[in-house]
Copies of this chain bind each other. A is one copy, B any other.
Amino acid sequence: MKAIGVRDGAGQAELMEIPKPDPEAGEALVRTLRVGVDGTDHEVIAGSHGGSPEGEEFLVLGHEAVGVVEDPNGTEFEVGDVVVPTVRRPPNGPNRYFDNEEPDMAPEGQYHERGIVGAHGFMAEYFTSPASKLVSVPPALAEHGFLVEPISITEKAVEHADASRSAFEWAPESALVLGNGSLGLLTLAMFEGRFDRTYCLGRRERPDPTIDIIESLGSTYVNSTETPIPEIPDVYEAPDLIYEATGYAKHPFEAIEALAPNGVAALLGVPSNWKFEIDGGTLHREIVLHNKAVVGSVNSNVRQFEAAVDSLAALSDSFLDALVTGIYGLDEFEAAFVDDDTTIKNAVQFSTYEER
């Protein structure tokens, strides 16, 4: 069957021929519909993140998948069920994080991530997965089901941020999303209705499709070159929640000061080493005297995937149409890996729901 992968050191995705997998006991065989492309894929292709399975010299890409059950193989699924797979798998037998159904909390070395590190991904005509790691999706969401994984990332981050504020009556009114990539925009859309006022920080000038989306959501676009984070409290307001999806290493420290009293910063970016000066005394004092919190969040679990299915269902078609730049077939898969200012979210299409 056809797959899209990256050979070690190649620096680009390529079409490959690999054997169609056989489901083992407890696993279902899934026919792939669509697989999204995100920044992690670009890092994996560039070789700056993740790695191939042990003993192999290539990695099948893809961790944002939606598919249709082709062979339930004795699991609880039925032929034709639309499913989304979670990403983490136990590396060498189970460990307590997988036993607890919280593989998202496993430390480095205690997980593989399909399509990222140690295990092949979902960018193939078929994949197998333990049924316990497949989440059901209503057929109506089959087209956009590849967005369940990124949405689940935000479900987890917000769950942890909310938990950190659960020891008192927190009444957040405003949120600032750092980053106008696809994850930032999905998060901003998820915040509609929850916050009275939202802001989204980016570095782009008008005209820009992401700015159009931000404003169509009723949110305020903040151009960081005009209004850097430290000026946001004065120009707009001090946000109750700051969601960081930039991977820009100064943002967490700027966020601590910009937050409203009792606010929380949820961090999701993964920057490289970078030394710089901060006023650590001011940050320390500010966290303490205003009861602030900072929470880091990575990956997501089945429960958060299930919440993401509901969140996806609540997003408007017009938002989703604007978010998804292109859906590309295998004959033009390279286009899905283009990452320029006109690209918000691409996916590769392997088959359609109707083909069943």
Contact = CB atoms under 8 A, between A and B. Distances in A.
A163 B160 contact: no
A105 interface: yes
B296 A287 contact: yes
Top 7 nearest A-B pairs (CB, nearest first) are A287-B296, A274-B281, A107-B261, A164-B164, A249-B281, A163-B167, A288-B296
Contacts of A292: 295-296
A160 B274 contact: no
Interface string A1-31: 0000000000000000000000000000000
Interface string A277-313: 1111111111111111111111000000000000000
B293 A294 contact: yes
Contacts of A252: 280, 283-284, 287
A283 B294 CA distance: 12
A58 interface: no
Given A100-B168, A294-B295, 20 more contacts: A102-B168, A104-B168, A105-B168, A105-B261, A107-B262, A108-B261, A108-B289, A162-B167, A163-B165, A163-B167, A164-B293, A267-B284, A267-B287, A272-B285, A273-B281, A274-B282, A275-B278, A277-B277, A278-B280, A288-B296
A280 B287 contact: no
A271 interface: yes
A44 to B, nearest CB: 15
Given A105-B168, A163-B167, A261-B107, A281 B289 contact: no
B276 A272 contact: no
Interface in A111-146: none
Given A164-B164, A278-B276, A278-B278, A107 B284 contact: no
Nearest to A163: B167
Interface of A: 100, 102, 104-105, 107-108, 156, 159-160, 162-169, 247, 249-253, 261-262, 267-298
Contacts of A284: 247, 249, 251-252, 267, 269-271
A56 to B, nearest CB: 24
A281 B160 CA distance: 21
Contacts of A271: 280-281, 284-285
Contacts of A286: 296
Contact of A274 (B269, B275, B279): B279
A295 B262 contact: no
A252 B285 CA distance: 10
Contacts of A104: 168, 291
Contacts of A297: 288, 291
Contacts of A291: 104-105, 160, 295-298
A298 B284 CA distance: 12
B270 A275 contact: no
Contacts of A166: 163, 166
A226 to B, nearest CB: 23
Contacts of A164: 160, 163-164, 293, 295
Contact of A282 (B273, B281, B285): B273
Given A276-B278, A277-B275, A278-B280, A269 B288 contact: yes
